[in-house]
């Protein structure tokens, strides 16, 4: 793997890495970098690759409180941590305070997590239509109840709870400052803000000014910034722009777990960056696939799950369209080996084409909301009665 030291002029030079370790309750994260939870991506296999590259906190895929309480096999796959993974970071999604409380109690009483993050950021219609994810903090009482239930359930074992949220439903219905203050007041250990509304979905650019505004308002606990960090330089720029206490990185590390090495270097004040040639990328793809087979226990399933990673890994490298397409249909390790052997493994790092935006993008979407959701900031009796039913087995976003 090529590690290069980039030379920068005085004008371009990123601000010195000056952040102290991130404190999340009793946990100390020396490099203030968090791998964003991503459903279908941040499983134990991918987290291992990220961990081996850098330093930080690596959040597992989201699980729904209801599925966990019902002990679904899929929830237990999600929270199956490797023995050397410390801290074990779990994200829970839920809309019913009682179920969220029960899920967090299960996690801490059975010693299955060292950190619990609550998802209030999901913008997908099947979630927001039920009042969940990014549109939930609009109901102030419900938001407070869920956060309080989680904090109280985690407290006996000293497990910190954090909140991850978006700016609000849309620009006319912003909730993040109020939700941040409520979360702080309810005893959460940190709040993270993705600088987009539910209506923004993944479009446009993340609003880092909103992260700065949250940092100004929430003064007693760390504020983490999230959105559009594609490089270590972006991470430093976000810190400089917002004053945030740490960064949360999602799509930027898809197909690029070595970004965590760049982030660790940058926060340590070093200019060293990983610039892998295609041979190195091929080695990481192979290892990722092996780890996925270990994780899923089935080669077929693991390789199907690997398919989406292929375009991310190959982004920017010269690989023919037909070969790329075959990578996207790979179904066994043997087939993967054949495909990797067809790559020009001497190809050097391509620079800009491998950098910048990757993964989900798209255009704004009008959020789907439960009937009458915007009429009041408090929960209606009717919706309250349906809460226990309102949680679906959803997968993140």
Residues 301-360 close enough to bind ligand FMN by CB under 6 A: 359-360
Nearest distance from C-beta of residue 252 to ligand FMN, angstroms: 5
| Number of residues in contact with ligand FMN under rule CB under 6 A | 26
Q: For ligand FMN, which is the closer residue by CB, 113 or 249?
A: 249
44-53 and 259-267 are packed helices; what angle lies between their axes, rounded to 10 degrees?
A: 40
Q: 303 with 276: CB under 8 angstroms? A: no
Q: 285 with 336: CB under 8 angstroms? A: yes
Q: For ligand FMN, which is the closer residue by CB, 88 or 164?
A: 164
- Which of 39, 49, 306, 387 contacts ligand FMN by CB under 6 A? 39
115 binds ligand FMN (CB under 6 A): no
In a 13 Å sphere around the CA of 221, the CA atoms on its Cβ side amount to: 22
Residues 180-209 close enough to bind ligand FMN by CB under 6 A: 194
Q: 207 with 195: CB under 8 angstroms? A: yes
Instruction: Considering only the stretches 32-40, 148-156, 257-265, 362-370, report the one whose residues sit in contact with ligand FMN under the rule CB under 6 A.
Output: 32-40
Q: Which residues contact 109 (CB under 8 A, 6 or more apart)?
A: 157
- Which of 32, 37, 97, 316 contacts ligand FMN by CB under 6 A? 37
Whole-Å CA distances, 329 to 105, 127, 311, 318: 41, 29, 11, 19
Instruction: Considering only the stretches 9-17, 45-53, 150-158, 247-255, report the one whose residues sit in contact with ligand FMN under the rule CB under 6 A.
Output: 247-255
Nearest distance from C-beta of residue 196 to ligand FMN, angstroms: 7
Residues 66-95 close enough to bind ligand FMN by CB under 6 A: 91
Q: How far apart are CA 220 and CA 265, in angstroms?
A: 28
Residue at shortest CB range from ligand FMN:
396
Q: How far apart are CA 361 and CA 204, in angstroms?
A: 8
Checking phi first, is residue 50 left (phi over 0); if not, alpha (psi -120 to 50) or beta? alpha
Q: 40 with 314: CB under 8 angstroms? A: no
Task: Reply yes or no: is the peptide bond before residue 245 cis, omega within 30 of 0.
Answer: no
50 noted as active-site residue: no
Nearest distance from C-beta of residue 250 to ligand FMN, angstroms: 3
Catalytic residue among 50, 122, 244, 253: 122
| Cβ atoms within 10 Å, residue 318 | 11
Nearest distance from C-beta of residue 253 to ligand FMN, angstroms: 8
Binding letters toward ligand FMN, positions 219-238, x by CB under 6 A? -------xxxx---------
Q: For ligand FMN, which is the closer residue by CB, 39 or 282?
A: 39
Residue labelled with tokens 């976003």:
397
Q: Tell me the helices (H) and strands (E) count for the chain, helix number first.
A: 15, 12
Question: Which positions touch ligand FMN (CB under 6 A)?
Answer: 36-41, 61-62, 91, 119, 121-122, 164, 194, 226-229, 249-252, 359-360, 396-397
Residues with catalytic function: 122
């Amino acid at each position: 793997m090529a590690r290069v030291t980039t030379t920068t002029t005085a004008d371009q030079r990123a601000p010195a890495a000056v952040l102290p370790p991130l404190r999340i309750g009793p946990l100390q994260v020396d490099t203030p970098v968090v791998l964003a939870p991503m459903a279908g991506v941040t499983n134990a296999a991918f987290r291992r690759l990220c961990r081996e590259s850098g330093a930080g906190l690596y959040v597992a895929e989201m699980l729904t409180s209801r599925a966990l309480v019902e002990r679904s096999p899929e929830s237990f796959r999600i929270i199956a941590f490797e023995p050397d993974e410390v801290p074990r970071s779990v994200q829970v999604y839920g809309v019913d305070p009682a179920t969220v409380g029960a899920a967090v109690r299960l996690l801490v009483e059975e010693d299955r997590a060292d950190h619990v993050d609550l998802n209030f950021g999901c913008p997908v219609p099947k979630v927001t239509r039920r009042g969940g994810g990014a549109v939930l903090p609009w109901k102030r009482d419900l938001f407070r109840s869920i956060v309080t239930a989680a904090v109280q359930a985690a407290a006996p074992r000293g497990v910190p709870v954090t909140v991850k949220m978006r700016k609000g439903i849309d620009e006319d219905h912003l909730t993040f400052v109020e939700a941040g203050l409520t979360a702080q007041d309810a005893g959460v250990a940190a709040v993270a803000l993705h600088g987009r509304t539910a209506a923004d979905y993944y479009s446009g650019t993340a609003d880092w000014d909103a992260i700065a505004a949250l940092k100004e308002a929430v003064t007693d606990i760390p504020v983490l910034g999230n959105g559009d960090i594609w490089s270590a330089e972006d991470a430093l720029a976000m810190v400089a722009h917002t004053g945030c206490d740490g960064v949360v990185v999602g799509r930027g590390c898809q197909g690029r777990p070595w970004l965590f090495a760049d982030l660790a270097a940058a926060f340590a004040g070093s200019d060293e960056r990983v610039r892998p040639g295609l041979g190195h990328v091929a080695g990481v793809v192979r290892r990722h696939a092996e780890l996925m087979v270990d994780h899923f226990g089935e080669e077929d399933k693991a390789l199907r799950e690997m398919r989406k990673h292929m375009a991310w890994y190959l982004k920017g490298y010269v690989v023919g369209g037909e070969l790329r397409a075959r990578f996207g249909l790979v179904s066994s390790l043997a087939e993967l080996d054949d495909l990797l052997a067809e790559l020009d493994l001497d190809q050097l790092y391509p620079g800009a084409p491998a950098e910048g935006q990757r993964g989900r993008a798209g255009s704004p979407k009008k959020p789907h909301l439960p009937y009458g959701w915007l009429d009041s900031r408090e929960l209606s009796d009717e919706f309250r009665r349906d809460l226990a039913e309102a949680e679906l087995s959803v997968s993140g976003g």
